Structure 1
């Protein structure tokens, strides 16, 4: 069952790319690199790695997505990595246990639930795309410890207006 949670600002290091649904690895495969880059600098993850959806155009199969790793304090990034901050505010959150392929249904259920509750997202629509202030998938399972995708835990967090 979804719930509404208040989050503070959360610093992270990330990478951003424009992708399609079939090229998700362009950003997803960078999470391990970001964690290694942080470790080389004596900084470590302060939470689960995530995908942040900046822009979604499903009809055009075009997404602007970040792969990010939260940190305890801001870190100066370099190259194509950047330091960012997830915005503070109220988020609708729900957990999913199982294969990430199930996230499409979980997301649809979450969006439907929020509509029934008459909640408004911190999102604008322009030129057929949704532009989100905070739409996150947090991957809580370490694939090195649990390679079976059917046993993964993922939290969705969508920022409210």
Structure 2
């Protein structure tokens, strides 16, 4: 069983370029790969580039369905075009941890962050996001994948 080190940070708001869809859990993986390529191509067509690794932010809609924002941080807000639109990752206090291994075993990372927040008299403040530090194309073995999980929170 993996042990999760929880880090506390105060993040600045980060402009992003994203694609958005509401999906069932089973649809998310295949959709993400297509969207990262589409967003990267849209940025390149604008003469821009990602300012960091890909991320996905999951807004829970209903049992098994999420509104997913997938894309990249960017240096400055973009204009919407062709399914790619501007968004932002919120600034403020967050807790973070890194999960090593397959995506379908990440739930304990979320649990570790929620537990830390509650133990420190806080509450979760909005949707978490995942930053994909390892590309499955570059590292085909899921055991070598590293994903940062970021959860905004606030103190009571």
Pairwise same-fold verdict (TM > 0.5): yes
What TM-score, normalized by structure 1, do the two folds share?
A: 0.84
Alignment pair present for 1:135 and 2:135: no
Alignment pair present for 1:41 and 2:11: no
- Runs ≥4 residues deviating over 4 A: none
State the partner residue of 1:145: 138
Matched residues in 2 for 1:16 and 1:151: separation? 28
- The superposition leaves residues 85-116 of structure 1 with CA deviations (integer Å, 9 ceiling, x where unpaired) of 11211111111122222211221222223222
Unaligned ranges ≥5, structure 2? none
Return the offset for 1:143.
Answer: 3.0
Which has the larger share of helix? 2
What TM-score, normalized by structure 2, do the two folds share?
A: 0.86
Partner of 1:160, secondary structure, is: strand
CA RMSD of aligned residues (A): 1.7
Contact 2:18-2:86 within 8 A present in 1 as well: yes
Alignment pair present for 1:5 and 2:9: yes
Unaligned ranges ≥5, structure 1? 123-131
Partner of 2:114, secondary structure, is: helix
> How many residues matched?
149
Partner of 1:16, secondary structure, is: strand
Matched residues in 1 for 2:82 and 2:46: separation? 15
